[in-house]
Amino acid sequence: MDTAGERSADRVTAVAAAVGAAFFELGVDTAFGVLGSGNFVATEAFVAAGGTFHAARHEGGAASMADGFGRVTGRPALVSVHQGPGLTNAITAIGEAAKARVPMVVFAGDTAPGALRSNFRIDQHALVESVGARAERLHGPRSALADATRALARARDERRPVVLMAPVDLQEEAVDEAAPATPPPAPLPAGAAPGAIATLADLLLAARRPLVIAGRGAVVADAGEALAELGERAGAMLATTAMAKGLFAGHPHLLGISGGFSSPPTAELIASADLVLAVGASLTPWTTREGSLFAAAEKLVRIDVEADAAVGEGADLVVLGDAAEVTAALCAELAERGHDCRRYPEIEAAARRCAWRLQRFEEASGPGQIDPRSFSIALEAALPTERTVVVDSGHFVGWPAMYLEPPDARSWVFVNAFQAVGLGLGAAIGAAVARPDRVTVLAIGDGGLLMSLPELETAARLGLRLLIVAYDDAAYGAEVHPFGAAGHDVSLVRFPDTDLAAIGRAAGLGAVTVREYADLEPVATWAAAPDGPLLVDAKVDPAVCAEWLTLTFEQGHP
């Protein structure tokens, strides 16, 4: 029988080491995490096998990094966390990734089944399932590699985080198999039945003003090109949800984002549609303005791969299938019926009026403060077009959604599926790790940044080409505006001015404070040759309230 000493000397055969190495052999090349006794050996083996591990400073940061990495690349990263509090620290970010359908594998230490009095003991399975992630487990030394393989395949196929529980006693046992199991082939995406395609084509051809709204499901399915072709063939207006911005970047039929971030002409055109085709979009109240945007539409059709996601919202027809496959079949059907691709000048002319930068507003820069809208427009001009844009949550969220343009949907990381403040910095670090060739821009509030400060050190240590833009109103603006308007005591959600630039410098970043346009010059200089992260503390006028927020509290949804 092995002694503990012999087992640790022979690391390659320990379950922990074999599983860590297996993830790399199965194609996962990047990991983020915080190491402790329950995940050290597995992570060490992942690195020894050839993987790259980035140490985060908080597990919430680590899981958000995997989220950003997963959205930009479409590939799962490994998250490595300690049992108990290591996993609870990561859970909000895991919930975000579950809701946004981002694949990732979380290797989580777990207490030994018999360790009933361990301080670390919680019901990890129930915890992760409660936020929509999947719980998997290393069951024994004989199945460990198959267990790891299955966890990864599920993350890929179910497009969500899978948390692999790794009991610490089992991790030390000798593994029976030397090589990971071969993962099953990814299931081929299914299109809709021919009858459903014919019905969809009938509806499209009968419509006078059809509109396609594409959501994150369309991004995940890489359906952008097929949907753009559909727009051209059917003469449909194109819009995206906030999550899918960038999917139709530069397309002449693009109206913009559907919902609170619609410009007035965009909203008007969306409301004029008689047929709405929602593709991979869950149609939240944010996208539909509480249903009001589609009130006049005669038909609402939904295409989704998940029956759950497509149920409700009064759809007239739900077609189950992969967004790209269904759309391609629909294009083929229209072509077969002789409905040829042609230009639709009236849609193009209408779409040209939609961009937010063309809408007028009254400049509101007080002394020492900058208008967040004109600041965003100036920022857009200072940045190279090749960029990844990452957005945290809060009142400020509309400004980047309205004024910053990603070149495509994989370059837009809108970390708002769980609507949690403070996940953006981690996601931006993961996105920047995934695309070291280009600039990553994070838009975040002062509240969100102060919630995620530990990862400033990570950003500096990794020397990323990351621009952190804090819309700093010294407040939880998302609470100040609605509660202030209703007569509440907003001193509870206002704070003294914080010198975020000084905090950035202390963590090892370059930093500038922006109070007027001239202060943006160092940003343009940095963008021309970025050499490590730069933090911009933009002191924005706290009195400017976005129309989308006013609309939201008038309509009564959080």
List residues near ligand TPP by CB under 6 A. 393-396, 419-422, 445-448, 471, 473, 475-479
Beta strands in 157-232 (DSSP E): 161-167, 210-214
8 or 555: CB nearest ligand TPP: 555
393 binds, among ligand TPP, Mg ion, none (CB under 5 to 8 A by kind): ligand TPP
Instruction: Give φ, ψ of 365 to 5 degrees.
Output: -85, 115
The order of strands in the sheet holding 104-110 is 52-55, 30-33, 78-81, 104-110, 161-167, 134-137
Work out which of 322, 473, 519, 537 binds Mg ion, going by CB under 5 A: 473
Interface size with Mg ion, residues (CB under 5 A)? 6
Taking the complex as a whole, the smallest distance from the CB of residue 416 to Mg ion amounts, in Å, to 15
Which residues have C-beta within 8 Å of that of residue 261, sequence separation ≥ 6? 242, 398, 401, 402, 548
Q: How crowded is residue 225: how many other Cβ atoms within 10 Å of its Cβ?
A: 13
Taking the complex as a whole, the smallest distance from the CB of residue 448 to Mg ion amounts, in Å, to 8
Sign of CA dihedral 59, 64, 69, 71: positive
134 or 481: CB nearest ligand TPP: 481
- When asked if residue 541 is in the footprint of Mg ion (CB under 5 A), the reply is no
Largest CA distance in the chain: 80
Scanning the structure block, which residue is given the tokens 């051809």? 205
- Residue type, position 28, single letter: V
Taking the complex as a whole, the smallest distance from the CB of residue 152 to Mg ion amounts, in Å, to 39
Taking the complex as a whole, the smallest distance from the CB of residue 62 to ligand TPP amounts, in Å, to 17
448 binds, among ligand TPP, Mg ion, none (CB under 5 to 8 A by kind): ligand TPP
Residue 497 DSSP SS3:
coil
Residue 464 DSSP SS3:
coil
What is the Cα–Cα distance from 386 to 407, expressed in whole angstroms? 6
473 or 519: CB nearest Mg ion: 473
- When asked if residue 109 is in the footprint of Mg ion (CB under 5 A), the reply is no
260 binds, among Mg ion, ligand TPP, none (CB under 5 to 8 A by kind): none
Work out which of 477, 482, 504, 510 binds Mg ion, going by CB under 5 A: 477
Taking the complex as a whole, the smallest distance from the CB of residue 448 to ligand TPP amounts, in Å, to 4
76 binds, among Mg ion, ligand TPP, none (CB under 5 to 8 A by kind): none
Taking the complex as a whole, the smallest distance from the CB of residue 470 to Mg ion amounts, in Å, to 8
Binders of Mg ion among 439-458, rule CB under 5 A?
A: 445-447
Q: What angle do CA 18, 20, 26 make, to 5 degrees?
A: 90
18 or 423: CB nearest ligand TPP: 423
77 or 421: CB nearest ligand TPP: 421
421 binds, among Mg ion, ligand TPP, none (CB under 5 to 8 A by kind): ligand TPP
Q: Indicate the Cα dihedral angle 543, 546, 552, 555, nearest 10°.
A: 80
Residue 61 DSSP SS3:
helix
**Choices 172-180, 195-203, 242-250, 477-485; region in contact with Mg ion by CB under 5 A:** 477-485
Query: How many angstroms separate the first and last alpha carbons of the chain?
Result: 60
Which among 102, 100, 118 is positioned nearest to 110, based on CA atoms? 118
Taking the complex as a whole, the smallest distance from the CB of residue 446 to ligand TPP amounts, in Å, to 4
What is the Cα–Cα distance from 45 to 553, expressed in whole angstroms? 51
89 binds, among Mg ion, ligand TPP, none (CB under 5 to 8 A by kind): none
Instruction: Give φ, ψ of 406 to 5 degrees.
Output: -80, 150
Taking the complex as a whole, the smallest distance from the CB of residue 162 to ligand TPP amounts, in Å, to 23
Which residues have C-beta within 8 Å of that of residue 309, sequence separation ≥ 6? 217, 282
372 or 533: CB nearest ligand TPP: 372
Q: What are the tokens at 161?
A: 């985080």
**Choices 78-86, 162-170, 438-446, 491-499; region in contact with Mg ion by CB under 5 A:** 438-446
133 or 197: CB nearest ligand TPP: 133
Q: Which residue is nearest to ligand TPP (CB)?
A: 445
What is the Cα–Cα distance from 337 to 342, expressed in whole angstroms? 14
Taking the complex as a whole, the smallest distance from the CB of residue 294 to ligand TPP amounts, in Å, to 26
Q: What angle do CA 72, 74, 76 make, to 5 degrees?
A: 105
164 or 478: CB nearest ligand TPP: 478
What is the Cα–Cα distance from 214 to 202, expressed in whole angstroms? 20
419 binds, among Mg ion, ligand TPP, none (CB under 5 to 8 A by kind): ligand TPP
What distances in angstroms separate CA 321 from CA 164, 210, 307, one per listed residue? 29, 20, 9
Please answer whether residues 61 and 432 qualify as being in contact, where contact means their C-beta atoms are separated by less than 8 angstroms: no
- When asked if residue 537 is in the footprint of Mg ion (CB under 5 A), the reply is no
Taking the complex as a whole, the smallest distance from the CB of residue 13 to ligand TPP amounts, in Å, to 42
Residue 153 DSSP SS3:
helix
477 or 510: CB nearest ligand TPP: 477
148 or 421: CB nearest ligand TPP: 421
Please answer whether residues 471 and 396 qualify as being in contact, where contact means their C-beta atoms are separated by less than 8 angstroms: yes
274 binds, among ligand TPP, Mg ion, none (CB under 5 to 8 A by kind): none
Residue 254 DSSP SS3:
strand
Q: Which residue is nearest to Mg ion (CB)?
A: 445
271 or 450: CB nearest Mg ion: 450
Taking the complex as a whole, the smallest distance from the CB of residue 102 to ligand TPP amounts, in Å, to 18
Binders of Mg ion among 40-79, rule CB under 5 A?
A: none
CA–centroid distance for 171 within its chain: 32
What is the Cα–Cα distance from 394 to 514, expressed in whole angstroms? 20
416 or 440: CB nearest ligand TPP: 416
150 binds, among Mg ion, ligand TPP, none (CB under 5 to 8 A by kind): none
160 or 395: CB nearest ligand TPP: 395
Q: Residues in the site for Mg ion, rule: CB under 5 A?
A: 445-447, 473, 475, 477
